[in-house]
Structure 1
Amino acid sequence: MKTTYAPFDVADYLNNDQVIAEYLTVAAEDPNPDVFIAAIGDVAKARGISQIAKESGLGRESLYKALRIGAHPRFETIKAVLHALGVKLTVVSEHSV
């Protein structure tokens, strides 16, 4: 008997602000910038791409292009999308705590 599984979609689990903040924080710490961009895309999908595109002032297609693997979005784009997602970047010293 062959077992089949439903595809895993992390967006299905990004269902509250705390989980989203932790997810983006961990992704931002990865040395590969594509991980953070992909994580922003996952959160945008969870919140609704159309709504995030509207709130960020981007077209849907532009948002998809900016958040795909290998894209090099401008900082202004990332900042606008994060604002639309209701999160912000915070910088802390690596030497604290």
Structure 2
Amino acid sequence: MTTFATFDAADYLDSEEAIAEFLAAAMEDPNPDVFLSALGAVTRARGVAKIAAEAGLGRESLYKAIAPGAHPRYETIQKLLRALGVQMSISPRHAH
């Protein structure tokens, strides 16, 4: 029987460019839990304790903010994105 390791995107998020592309793709999904899950993967890739400290959040608060179904405040997301070394940008939506 063949066994496979569980896939974790955090294992592949090893550059700012990869992280930015990963989060940008997640933001395109209409389900907000996809973005929160992506934030969780990036946070794990960078180190939860380190990111929580840099964002000024407790680890427990950070986990709650990115849990599926969470409704984090905008300022919490901004702090987290800053700690992760990325920023949001707005652009016009192109017709498909």
Q: TM-score, normalised by structure 2?
A: 0.95
Give the Cα separation in 1 of the matches to 2:87 and 2:38: 14
Report the CA distance between 1:51 and its aligned residue. Answer: 0.4
Instruction: Give how far 1:69 is off.
Output: 0.7
Question: How does 1:46-65 map onto structure 2 within 5 Å?
Answer: 46-65=45-64
> In the alignment, is residue 28 of structure 1 matched against residue 27 of structure 2?
yes
Distance, in Å, in 1 between the alignment partners of 2:64 and 2:38 is 14
Cα distance in 1 for partners of 2:32, 2:83 equals 20
Shift of 1:94: 1.2
CA RMSD of aligned residues (A): 1.1
Q: TM-score, normalised by structure 1?
A: 0.94
Deviation, 1:95, is 4.0
In the alignment, what sits opposite 2:12? Answer: 13
Taking the aligned partners of 2:67 and 2:45, their CA distance within structure 1 comes to 15
Aligned residues: 95
Q: Deviation at 1:62? A: 0.5
Assess, with a 3 A threshold, how the Cα gap between structure 1 residues 95 and 5 changes in structure 2: closer, same or farther: closer
Report sequence identity in percent.
58
> Aligned to 1:44, what secondary structure does the other structure show?
helix
